[in-house]
Amino acid sequence: MPHTYETDGARIYAESFATIRAEADLSPFTPDEEPVVVRMIHAAGLVGLERDVRLTPDFAQAARAALEAGAPILCDARMVSEGITRPRLPAANEVICTLQDARVPDLAKRMGNTRSAAALELWRDRLEGAVVAIGNAPTALFHLLDMLEDPACPRPAAIVGCPVGFVGAAEAKAALIADPPAPALVVAGRLGGSAITVAAINALASRKE
């Protein structure tokens, strides 16, 4: 016997978001923040993720305004940059990932750091007013924070900092949200990843579900 299951894509999509809103505790979030958190839960398949979402009060508005003004999106990994849905972007925003740049391996050796961290050095001329999306490497988020300790370093408009992992991820996100150098969003602890980060960016890019 064939399996019986829902085959209407639009109905699956709508029911998924309805289920999240029925089961998740979204009461702490403003109307601007709620669609972002819902998409993150959807990407993770995890009701309860909302309990670990931390964001500055000005994050959603600042990130949306930057995207609507044409800000580039700077990504730490191709999994993040490739996941962003281009038709959702409000101003044909440029999506940039410098990890594969030919200069990065030598730069990483000179810095004594990972390629993910070294790749951020190539962001300096694009960082002013940008939306940063870090979903993979804790070292990238730590290095960004180190860069932004310099008052001369350009400031991004907003930071989605959701690297995943067992070494450094929780600490990097805690450091970001404890003393944010720009409006910021994190998932506390070890949870995170490219899919969750992409979901946040896609929700900020367009209110359409």
* CATH number reported for the structural domain that contains residue 95 in this entry: 3.40.50.10230
Q: Which of 34, 37, 40, 42 is catalytic?
A: 42
Which pLDDT band, with edges at 50, 70 and 90, does 56 fall under?
A: very high
In a domain, residue 18? The reply is: no
- What percent of the chain has a predicted confidence (pLDDT) above 90? 94
In a domain, residue 104? The reply is: yes
- The helices-and-strands tally (H runs, E runs) of the chain is 9, 6
Q: Is 42 known to be catalytic?
A: yes
Each residue's pLDDT tens digit, 86-143: 999 999 999 999 999 999 999 999 999 999 999 999 999 999 999 999 999 999 999 9
Which pLDDT band, with edges at 50, 70 and 90, does 209 fall under?
A: confident
In a domain, residue 148? The reply is: yes
DSSP 187: E
- Domains identified in the chain, total number: 1
Helices 59-68, 194-205: axis angle to 10 degrees equals 70
In a domain, residue 16? The reply is: no
Distance CA 167, CA 173 (A): 12
Residue 203 near residue 35 (C-beta atoms within 8 A): yes
Which pLDDT band, with edges at 50, 70 and 90, does 174 fall under?
A: very high
In a domain, residue 23? The reply is: no
In a domain, residue 24? The reply is: no
In a domain, residue 27? The reply is: no
In a domain, residue 183? The reply is: yes
Distance CA 144, CA 127 (A): 10
- Which range of residues forms the domain containing residue 140? 52-205
